[in-house]
Protein backbone atom coordinates (compact mmCIF):
# COMPACT_ATOMS: atom_id res chain seq x y z
CA UNK A 1 0.00 0.00 0.00
CA UNK A 2 1.40 3.40 -1.14
CA UNK A 3 1.95 6.01 1.46
CA UNK A 4 -0.05 9.23 0.85
CA UNK A 5 1.50 12.54 1.66
CA UNK A 6 -0.50 14.18 4.38
CA UNK A 7 -0.63 18.03 4.34
CA UNK A 8 -1.60 19.41 7.67
CA UNK A 9 -4.06 22.33 7.81
CA UNK A 10 -1.64 24.29 9.95
CA UNK A 11 0.82 24.31 7.04
CA UNK A 12 -1.77 25.72 4.52
CA UNK A 13 -3.14 28.55 6.63
CA UNK A 14 -0.11 30.91 6.20
CA UNK A 15 -0.18 30.41 2.44
CA UNK A 16 -3.91 31.13 2.25
CA UNK A 17 -3.45 34.25 4.35
CA UNK A 18 -0.61 35.44 2.07
CA UNK A 19 -2.72 34.94 -1.05
CA UNK A 20 -5.62 36.84 0.48
CA UNK A 21 -3.30 39.67 1.47
CA UNK A 22 -1.89 39.89 -2.05
CA UNK A 23 -5.39 39.97 -3.55
CA UNK A 24 -6.41 42.68 -1.09
CA UNK A 25 -3.32 44.74 -2.03
CA UNK A 26 -4.07 44.40 -5.73
CA UNK A 27 -7.64 45.54 -5.18
CA UNK A 28 -6.42 48.47 -3.13
CA UNK A 29 -3.97 49.50 -5.88
CA UNK A 30 -6.67 49.22 -8.57
CA UNK A 31 -9.26 51.16 -6.56
CA UNK A 32 -6.69 53.80 -5.59
CA UNK A 33 -5.61 54.21 -9.23
CA UNK A 34 -9.21 54.58 -10.40
CA UNK A 35 -9.92 57.07 -7.62
CA UNK A 36 -6.91 59.27 -8.44
CA UNK A 37 -7.67 59.08 -12.16
CA UNK A 38 -11.21 60.28 -11.49
CA UNK A 39 -9.87 63.09 -9.33
CA UNK A 40 -7.38 64.05 -12.07
CA UNK A 41 -10.11 64.05 -14.74
CA UNK A 42 -12.41 66.13 -12.54
CA UNK A 43 -9.64 68.65 -11.86
CA UNK A 44 -8.87 68.84 -15.60
CA UNK A 45 -12.51 69.39 -16.54
CA UNK A 46 -13.14 72.26 -14.13
CA UNK A 47 -9.72 73.93 -14.07
CA UNK A 48 -8.25 76.45 -16.57
CA UNK A 49 -5.95 73.65 -17.79
CA UNK A 50 -8.74 72.48 -20.14
CA UNK A 51 -9.38 75.97 -21.55
CA UNK A 52 -8.78 76.65 -25.24
CA UNK A 53 -5.46 78.46 -25.21
CA UNK A 54 -4.93 78.74 -28.97
CA UNK A 55 -7.94 79.74 -31.11
CA UNK A 56 -6.69 80.25 -34.65
CA UNK A 57 -8.72 81.57 -37.61
CA UNK A 58 -7.33 81.10 -41.13
CA UNK A 59 -8.62 81.89 -44.61
CA UNK A 60 -10.36 85.13 -43.68
CA UNK A 61 -9.66 88.11 -45.96
CA UNK A 62 -12.62 90.45 -45.54
CA UNK A 63 -14.29 89.16 -42.39
CA UNK A 64 -12.50 89.64 -39.07
CA UNK A 65 -11.23 86.75 -36.95
CA UNK A 66 -13.22 88.10 -34.00
CA UNK A 67 -16.45 87.92 -36.02
CA UNK A 68 -15.72 84.29 -36.89
CA UNK A 69 -14.96 83.39 -33.26
CA UNK A 70 -18.12 85.13 -32.09
CA UNK A 71 -20.24 83.28 -34.65
CA UNK A 72 -18.72 79.97 -33.52
CA UNK A 73 -19.40 80.86 -29.86
CA UNK A 74 -15.76 80.11 -29.06
CA UNK A 75 -13.16 81.99 -27.03
CA UNK A 76 -10.07 81.40 -24.93
CA UNK A 77 -12.46 80.71 -22.03
CA UNK A 78 -14.11 77.79 -23.83
CA UNK A 79 -13.35 74.27 -22.66
CA UNK A 80 -11.57 72.14 -25.26
CA UNK A 81 -13.68 69.10 -24.33
CA UNK A 82 -16.89 71.10 -24.80
CA UNK A 83 -16.12 72.29 -28.36
CA UNK A 84 -18.68 70.88 -30.80
CA UNK A 85 -16.90 71.16 -34.15
CA UNK A 86 -19.94 70.37 -36.30
CA UNK A 87 -22.12 72.95 -34.54
CA UNK A 88 -19.38 75.58 -34.72
CA UNK A 89 -19.02 74.99 -38.48
CA UNK A 90 -22.78 75.34 -39.00
CA UNK A 91 -22.87 78.56 -36.97
CA UNK A 92 -19.92 80.07 -38.87
CA UNK A 93 -21.54 79.27 -42.23
CA UNK A 94 -24.51 81.43 -41.21
CA UNK A 95 -22.26 84.45 -41.77
CA UNK A 96 -23.21 85.99 -45.11
CA UNK A 97 -19.60 86.11 -46.37
CA UNK A 98 -18.59 82.56 -45.41
CA UNK A 99 -18.86 79.79 -47.99
CA UNK A 100 -17.20 76.90 -46.12
CA UNK A 101 -15.96 76.32 -42.57
CA UNK A 102 -13.78 73.62 -41.05
CA UNK A 103 -13.28 73.44 -37.27
CA UNK A 104 -10.76 71.01 -35.79
CA UNK A 105 -9.69 70.35 -32.21
CA UNK A 106 -6.06 69.66 -31.46
CA UNK A 107 -5.42 68.48 -27.94
CA UNK A 108 -4.42 69.60 -25.47
CA UNK A 109 -5.67 73.18 -26.03
CA UNK A 110 -5.86 74.28 -29.70
CA UNK A 111 -8.82 74.89 -32.00
CA UNK A 112 -8.16 75.60 -35.69
CA UNK A 113 -10.88 77.36 -37.72
CA UNK A 114 -10.41 77.45 -41.49
CA UNK A 115 -12.93 79.33 -43.61
CA UNK A 116 -13.49 79.98 -47.29
CA UNK A 117 -15.14 83.30 -48.13
CA UNK A 118 -17.48 83.91 -51.02
CA UNK A 119 -15.62 85.67 -53.81
CA UNK A 120 -16.42 89.35 -54.27
CA UNK A 121 -17.42 89.71 -57.90
CA UNK A 122 -18.29 93.43 -57.89
CA UNK A 123 -19.04 96.51 -55.77
CA UNK A 124 -22.21 98.56 -56.06
CA UNK A 125 -21.50 102.29 -55.85
CA UNK A 126 -23.91 103.84 -53.38
CA UNK A 127 -23.15 107.43 -52.50
CA UNK A 128 -19.67 107.54 -51.00
CA UNK A 129 -19.44 103.82 -50.22
CA UNK A 130 -18.97 100.63 -52.22
CA UNK A 131 -21.23 97.71 -51.28
CA UNK A 132 -19.76 94.24 -51.94
CA UNK A 133 -21.67 91.80 -54.14
CA UNK A 134 -20.72 88.16 -53.57
CA UNK A 135 -20.58 85.28 -56.03
CA UNK A 136 -23.81 83.88 -54.55
CA UNK A 137 -25.56 87.16 -55.39
CA UNK A 138 -25.69 88.40 -51.79
CA UNK A 139 -25.33 92.15 -51.26
CA UNK A 140 -23.32 92.84 -48.11
CA UNK A 141 -24.77 96.14 -46.95
CA UNK A 142 -23.38 95.79 -43.44
CA UNK A 143 -19.77 95.77 -44.64
CA UNK A 144 -19.35 98.60 -47.19
CA UNK A 145 -15.92 99.72 -48.36
CA UNK A 146 -15.05 103.36 -47.73
CA UNK A 147 -12.05 103.35 -50.07
CA UNK A 148 -12.28 102.59 -53.81
CA UNK A 149 -11.82 98.80 -54.14
CA UNK A 150 -9.47 97.39 -56.77
CA UNK A 151 -10.22 93.66 -56.54
CA UNK A 152 -13.50 93.70 -58.52
CA UNK A 153 -15.41 95.96 -60.92
CA UNK A 154 -17.48 98.92 -59.71
CA UNK A 155 -21.17 98.95 -60.72
CA UNK A 156 -22.76 102.37 -61.22
CA UNK A 157 -26.35 103.36 -61.88
CA UNK A 158 -27.99 100.08 -60.84
CA UNK A 159 -30.68 99.67 -58.22
CA UNK A 160 -31.29 96.51 -56.23
CA UNK A 161 -33.58 94.22 -58.15
CA UNK A 162 -33.77 91.72 -60.99
CA UNK A 163 -31.31 93.51 -63.29
CA UNK A 164 -28.61 93.69 -60.61
CA UNK A 165 -29.20 90.04 -59.67
CA UNK A 166 -28.90 89.06 -63.33
CA UNK A 167 -25.63 90.98 -63.66
CA UNK A 168 -24.25 89.32 -60.54
CA UNK A 169 -25.07 85.86 -61.95
CA UNK A 170 -23.37 86.73 -65.23
CA UNK A 171 -20.20 87.89 -63.47
CA UNK A 172 -20.18 84.72 -61.36
CA UNK A 173 -20.17 82.60 -64.53
CA UNK A 174 -17.12 84.42 -65.87
CA UNK A 175 -13.54 83.35 -65.02
CA UNK A 176 -12.13 85.48 -62.18
CA UNK A 177 -9.20 86.57 -64.36
CA UNK A 178 -11.63 87.96 -66.95
CA UNK A 179 -13.73 89.74 -64.30
CA UNK A 180 -10.56 91.42 -63.01
CA UNK A 181 -10.04 93.06 -66.43
CA UNK A 182 -13.27 95.04 -65.91
CA UNK A 183 -12.96 98.39 -64.17
CA UNK A 184 -16.55 99.71 -64.19
CA UNK A 185 -20.02 98.67 -65.36
CA UNK A 186 -22.81 101.13 -66.18
CA UNK A 187 -26.13 101.13 -68.02
CA UNK A 188 -25.37 102.10 -71.62
CA UNK A 189 -28.39 104.41 -71.60
CA UNK A 190 -29.99 105.11 -68.22
CA UNK A 191 -33.16 106.24 -69.94
CA UNK A 192 -33.57 102.77 -71.49
CA UNK A 193 -32.95 100.80 -68.30
CA UNK A 194 -30.32 98.32 -67.19
CA UNK A 195 -30.56 95.64 -69.88
CA UNK A 196 -27.96 97.20 -72.16
CA UNK A 197 -24.68 97.81 -70.36
CA UNK A 198 -21.25 99.21 -71.08
CA UNK A 199 -18.10 97.82 -69.50
CA UNK A 200 -15.06 100.04 -69.05
CA UNK A 201 -12.04 97.76 -69.24
CA UNK A 202 -8.71 98.29 -67.50
CA UNK A 203 -6.96 98.32 -70.88
CA UNK A 204 -8.96 101.33 -72.06
CA UNK A 205 -11.48 99.54 -74.28
CA UNK A 206 -15.23 99.77 -73.81
CA UNK A 207 -17.53 96.77 -74.26
CA UNK A 208 -21.19 97.13 -75.17
CA UNK A 209 -23.24 94.07 -74.20
CA UNK A 210 -26.62 92.85 -73.04
CA UNK A 211 -27.00 92.08 -69.37
CA UNK A 212 -28.56 88.64 -69.84
CA UNK A 213 -25.89 87.28 -72.23
CA UNK A 214 -22.78 88.96 -70.81
CA UNK A 215 -20.98 85.80 -69.64
CA UNK A 216 -21.33 84.00 -72.97
CA UNK A 217 -20.42 87.03 -75.08
CA UNK A 218 -17.38 87.93 -72.95
CA UNK A 219 -15.79 84.61 -73.93
CA UNK A 220 -14.92 86.42 -77.19
CA UNK A 221 -13.11 89.27 -75.43
CA UNK A 222 -9.60 87.73 -75.06
CA UNK A 223 -9.52 86.74 -78.75
CA UNK A 224 -10.75 90.17 -79.84
CA UNK A 225 -8.07 91.87 -77.75
CA UNK A 226 -5.39 89.69 -79.35
CA UNK A 227 -6.51 90.77 -82.82
CA UNK A 228 -6.70 94.46 -81.81
CA UNK A 229 -3.22 94.25 -80.32
CA UNK A 230 -1.80 92.65 -83.47
CA UNK A 231 -3.47 95.29 -85.63
CA UNK A 232 -2.22 98.01 -83.26
CA UNK A 233 -5.68 99.40 -82.78
CA UNK A 234 -6.23 102.09 -80.18
CA UNK A 235 -9.07 102.47 -77.76
CA UNK A 236 -12.55 101.81 -79.02
CA UNK A 237 -15.92 100.17 -78.45
CA UNK A 238 -16.30 96.41 -78.76
CA UNK A 239 -19.96 95.78 -79.58
CA UNK A 240 -21.12 92.33 -78.45
CA UNK A 241 -24.84 92.95 -78.78
CA UNK A 242 -25.04 91.61 -82.34
CA UNK A 243 -22.13 89.30 -83.07
CA UNK A 244 -18.84 91.08 -82.39
CA UNK A 245 -17.57 94.33 -83.90
CA UNK A 246 -15.17 97.14 -83.04
CA UNK A 247 -15.23 100.85 -83.76
CA UNK A 248 -12.74 103.52 -82.65
CA UNK A 249 -13.63 106.20 -80.17
CA UNK A 250 -13.79 109.69 -81.57
CA UNK A 251 -11.72 112.37 -79.87
CA UNK A 252 -14.84 114.02 -78.48
CA UNK A 253 -16.07 110.66 -77.20
CA UNK A 254 -12.70 110.08 -75.49
CA UNK A 255 -12.96 113.41 -73.71
CA UNK A 256 -16.54 112.74 -72.67
CA UNK A 257 -15.63 109.31 -71.32
CA UNK A 258 -12.58 110.54 -69.42
CA UNK A 259 -14.69 113.29 -67.86
CA UNK A 260 -17.15 110.80 -66.33
181 belongs to a structural domain: yes
- Which CA distances in Å does 181 have to 41, 81, 204, 252, 258? 59, 49, 10, 25, 18
Query: pLDDT at position 115, please?
Result: 97
**Segment 197-232, tens digit of pLDDT:** 999 999 899 999 999 999 999 999 999 999 888 777
What pLDDT, on the 0 to 100 scale, is given for residue 1?
47
pLDDT at 234: 80
Q: What is the pLDDT of residue 28?
A: 77
> How far is the C-alpha of 163 from the C-alpha of 218, rounded, in Å?
18
The pLDDT score that the predictor gives to residue 6 is 53
In contact, 123 and 153? CB cutoff 8 Å: yes
Cβ proximity of 166 and 136 under 8 Å: no
Q: What is the pLDDT of residue 47?
A: 66
Backbone φ and ψ for 198, nearest 5 degrees, come out as -125, 135
pTM for the full predicted model:
0.74
Q: What is the pLDDT of residue 251?
A: 46
State residue 26's pLDDT score. 79
Tell me how many domains the chain contains: 2
19 is a domain residue:
no
Residues 187, 231 share a domain: yes
Query: What is the model's pLDDT at position 95?
Result: 95
Low-confidence ranges of the chain (pLDDT < 50): 1, 251-252, 254-255, 257-260
- Could you tell me the end-to-end alpha-carbon distance of the chain, in angstroms, rounded to an integer? 130
Residue 240 lies in a domain: yes
Domain boundary among 98, 117, 136: 117
- Give the residue numbers spanning the domain of 162: 120-258
* CATH classification of the domain holding 140: 3.40.50.10960
On whether residue 44 sits in a domain, the answer given is no
Asked whether residue 237 is domain-assigned, the answer is: yes
Amino acid sequence: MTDKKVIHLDDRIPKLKERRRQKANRRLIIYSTIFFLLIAVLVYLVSPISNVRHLVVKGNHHISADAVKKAAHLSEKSKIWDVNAAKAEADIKKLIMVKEADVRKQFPATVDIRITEYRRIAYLKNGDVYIPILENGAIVKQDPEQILPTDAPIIHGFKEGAALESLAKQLTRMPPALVHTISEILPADEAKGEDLIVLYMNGGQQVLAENGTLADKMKLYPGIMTILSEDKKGRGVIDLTMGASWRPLSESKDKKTSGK
